[in-house]
Chains A and B, each alone.
Chain A
Amino acid sequence: MRVGVITFPGTLDDVDAVRAVRLAGGEAVNLWHADRDLHGVDAVVVPGGFSYGDYLRAGAIAARAPIMDEVVVAADHGMPVLGICNGFQILCEAGLLPGALTRNVGLHFVCRDLRLRVESSATAWTGAFAAGQEIVVPLKSGEGRYVADAATLAQLEADGRIVFRYVDAAPNGSTSDIAGIASANGRVVGLMPHPEHAIEPLTGPSADGLGLFTSVLAAVMSA
């Protein structure tokens, strides 16, 4: 089971994402932004950071990088894709997820551990959780306020595609306390907090984040 982790210029969290994949029992494959080849991976993680220095808009340039053309095609065929933080912004800019991430309310960069509620276990990345389960993972972002038009929000809500919510009021002002969402087929998930930083008690606030990575291994095995 091979899970690709993309590195763009300015990506920060690819090393932690690779480690999370390995700890979950998968084989991590490094993917480069300029590649036009997914090297036969079964799933892809688009990690966090500041790809291309957040120029234009966070994630806007990365979404048009050569590797993303391949990710979009593979996602259309059902390959699981996880976008974390800047990766979530990239998936929205690439059109794989609806809506956009905008500047935090109050303009402050928020960096702290916080509680999330897993609202849906019916995605490729959350099968190991129970719906309603609370997990603790870090959030570290300056543009994490999720926005979408009213029709999109209603659709996400009705289809159970809001995957993670901030348990206490969203520190970034995110609409409906949304921390993460999924594509219509549940294969593509994006979230602002960082599960790859919460994979073992020694280095993170919990090991709760590991569940996303074990989930995708199980999802691909059963496919």
Chain B
Amino acid sequence: MPKPEILDPQGQAVAGALHRLGVAGVTDVRQGKHFELEVDDAVDDDTLHRIAGSLLANPVIEDWRVTRA
């Protein structure tokens, strides 16, 4: 997800579209990315965080969260 302090014009455009559709009560929209990785059991959480922080997300502008399903 874009960090809270990073302006998200795409999210704002979605919020504007919702308003035009007549949906009330949506005060803000932020747009991010979701990745699903198929990994071997041997891949540990440290590795997943390294993948997230070094390639999937740009830590300058994005926060990320790693979860296992």
Give A99's nearest chain B residue, CB to CB. Answer: B60
Task: Let me know if B58 and A103 touch, CB within 8 A.
Answer: no
Report if B7 contacts A (CB, 8 A). yes
Report if A141 contacts B (CB, 8 A). no
Report if A147 contacts B (CB, 8 A). yes
Total number of A-B contacts with CB less than 8 angstroms? 35
Task: Let me know if A105 and B10 touch, CB within 8 A.
Answer: no
Q: A64-B55, A102-B6, A102-B7 are in contact. Are A107 and B60 (CB under 8 A)?
A: no
Q: How large is the interface on A (under 10, 10 to 19, 20 to 34, 35 or more residues)?
A: 20 to 34
Task: Let me know if A147 and B6 touch, CB within 8 A.
Answer: yes
Task: Let me know if A57 and B58 touch, CB within 8 A.
Answer: yes
Report if B13 contacts A (CB, 8 A). yes
Give B61's nearest chain A residue, CB to CB. Answer: A100
Task: Let me know if B9 and A148 touch, CB within 8 A.
Answer: no
Provide a sorted-by-A list of 13 A–B residue pairs whose CB atoms are within 8 angstroms: A60-B55, A64-B55, A92-B60, A93-B58, A100-B61, A103-B8, A103-B9, A103-B10, A104-B9, A105-B7, A105-B9, A147-B60, A173-B7
Tell me the B residues contacting A by CB distance below 8 Å. 2, 6-10, 13, 55-56, 58, 60-61
Pairs of residues from A and B, 6 with the lowest C-beta to C-beta distance, nearest first = A100-B60, A100-B61, A103-B9, A107-B9, A100-B58, A107-B13
